[in-house]
Chain A
Amino acid sequence: MNAILNTIFAKHRQQPGALLPILHDIQHELGYVPEEAVPLIARELNLSRAEVHGVITFYQHFRQTPPGKHLVRVCCAEACQANGSEALAAHAAKRLQGEDETLEPVYCLGLCSMGPAIQIDETELHARVTPQKFDALMHKLGEKA
């Protein structure tokens, strides 16, 4: 971990206000921001550990524990609600119960006229997701892993 962190720190050393970019890079590399990284980040940026911890916990995007095999986000904002996202979210929770996937709500993916929308592993998007389509996507995901 230290080698990864040092590379990331070096990349951002000249950047004003580098904490968020550093946290993004760490999460990108490791999947989450480990507790052990906090004092190292704090020292690098001349911040207190509390300040770093405060930033990590303020932003919903940053995780302090490793995610499951896949990260599935279901949009729960109004435009998707108007197209049945609550039923989809309930279905998703049931479908993924006991499975090693991380299920999270997200508040708007910018796919507002084609809801309900979901996002898989940060960049893969799917619109007009019915429970059947969700199951098919999860099946495909299971085969990929």
Chain B
Amino acid sequence: MSITLYVPGDAGALALGADEVAAAIAKHAAKLKLDITLVRNGSRGLFWLEPLVEVVTAQGRVAYGPVTEADVPTLFAADFLHGGKHPLRLGDIAALPYLARQHRVTMRRVGVVDPRSLDDYLAHGGGKGLTLARSLPPADIVNLVTDSGLRGRGGAAFPTGIKWQTVLDQSAKQKYIVCNADEGDSGTVADRMLLEGDPFCVLEGMAIAALAVGASKGYIYVRSEYPHACIALNAALAAAGDWLGDFEIEVRMGAGAYVCGEETAMLESIEGKRGIVRNKPPLPAIAGLFGQPTVINNVITIASVPDILAQGAAFYCDLGVGSSRGTLPFQLAGNIKFGGLVEVPFGSTLRELLYDYGGGSRTGRPLRAVQVGGPLGAYLPESQFDTVLDYEAFAAIGAALGHGGIVAFDDTVDMAKQARYAMQFCAIESCGKCTPCRIGSTRGIEVIDRIRAGDQTQIPLLRSLCDTMTHGSMCAMGGMTPYPVLSALNHFVEDFSVVKAPLPQAGEGLG
């Protein structure tokens, strides 16, 4: 009988040599005339263990990792195909504390199922939400989503049910569902992992949204930096056949513009234009893609919907704290020992994630600053590590949870430089439509350079500039760039008072 092996095809695993490992296993098995079935699953999200190979044995799935090409002969020698002893043997991966302590809902199938197989998806609980949705009137579907307390996971945390209701209330011949997969925030990998590891879940969520609001066409806008996610989605769409009914989904590839993660810039981009932010109103829910009512939801938001339908609004709403209901897949990134994906209900603390899961810094030095929520998120000092992870608690300290990306820095970080980088990133990525963002970011770099050259009188000017950007920008690009800048200034002012020689900045001098 054929032995089934899982070798992740997730981009993270590929970057650590998963293709080479898979090829070596196939070659070795062929040489030994062993009958194996290689499944390229997603990643479980324990990235220090990638490439993580799992073998299906009589005792269940047995994991080995991190496996390199060179380990493959020794694995065969240890009879790993039957769960044999080996220094890399981890046993049942789901029993590892890192995974066992999590509460995976949205990401529960990622790394478990074969992302190319609709049957496997259905066998692991997929599809039930869509089946139920087909038997419900649209308003009931929307109510379920509203009652679940689900809020937009892309960063803005807008209540999903209200957005859907607005689109449902519009009378239009054509409505659209747009899935925002332009995951550009550094430190965030959850969208990518889900798109690559459980693409059918996204398709199902979109099909449910379509039934809820009366849409017949959907777009998934994937950034061009994620070619593997595009491949996974197109493969899933091909495999979906008529499972989605007459709802049609098209995958659209972005082209390296961070600002296209902003929903109206994304609509412009899908329409074939420059990714320039639109004025609101009108809201996209009223006049969105091609002027029609449009639901725009992040990947994780969309992927949360099938379970909310299948298991009920209360199942989701019972998780979490305050007005942050459900779970959030946090992503531990940067200088962290055990980096990866940690899906837990809202309400734990940053400290728990950084130390209990993350194990502190990779370099072994003390953690000094943590940026939460991507390039537009604040830098938090150690004194704020006990902040409860929910949207309101973060807003209260002038920070944002955003998409749940957590980037750790050790004590070698120069926070004035990080503040400068935030301005530089805004200058590179600004769509250019509004002045505070387009010009303010460049002036910001100059002001920080003067401060770093020793001119402390420029600090009030930097604050004033940030005030203008916060209140005068059209969207979060310019409006939230002051978050990292001001948090660096407020919590790490000592880095702004030392006269330093200008350092080369990330990306400067390349290309």
Contact = CB atoms under 8 A, between A and B. Distances in A.
Interface stretch (B380-388, B402-410, B461-469): B402-410
Contacts, number: 177
Nearest to B410: A82
Interface string B493-511: 0000000000111110111
Interface residues of A, number: 54
Nearest to A112: B333
Nearest to B409: A82
Contacts of B425: 77, 107
Interface string B409-427: 1100100001001000100
Nearest to A78: B186
B120 interface: no
A55 B14 contact: no
Contacts of B15: 109, 111, 114, 117, 125-127
Interface stretch (B94-102, B252-260, B318-326): B252-260
Interface residues of B, number: 66
A130 interface: no
B183 A110 contact: yes
B296 interface: no
Contacts of B429: 107
Nearest to A75: B186
A94 to B, nearest CB: 10
Interface in A101-145: 102-115, 117, 119, 122-123, 125-128
A92 B253 CA distance: 28
A121 to B, nearest CB: 10
Contact of A86 (B189, B252, B504): B504
B406 to A, nearest CB: 9
B65 interface: no
B12 A55 contact: no
A62 interface: yes
A56 B59 CA distance: 55
A62 B334 CA distance: 29
B334 A76 contact: no
Given A17-B272, A125-B15, A128-B16, A79 B186 contact: yes
B184 A108 contact: yes
A55 B425 CA distance: 20
Contact of B334 (A21, A24, A78, A107): A78
B188 interface: yes
B11 A59 contact: no
A108 B507 contact: no
Interface of B: 11-12, 14-16, 47-48, 50, 183-189, 192, 224-228, 252-258, 269-275, 290, 331-336, 339-340, 362, 371, 375, 405, 407-410, 413, 418, 421, 425, 428-429, 503-507, 509-511
Given A55-B274, A111-B189, A112-B405, 9 more contacts: A17-B290, A24-B224, A60-B256, A78-B334, A82-B413, A85-B506, A89-B510, A113-B12, A117-B15
24 contacts: A18-B272, A20-B253, A51-B273, A58-B274, A59-B275, A60-B255, A61-B255, A82-B409, A82-B413, A83-B362, A90-B504, A103-B511, A107-B507, A108-B225, A110-B189, A111-B189, A112-B407, A113-B12, A113-B340, A114-B15, A114-B16, A114-B339, A119-B225, A127-B15
Query: Which 8 residue pairs are nearest across A and B when measured between Cβ atoms?
Result: A113-B339, A19-B272, A77-B186, A112-B333, A82-B334, A59-B255, A105-B507, A61-B256
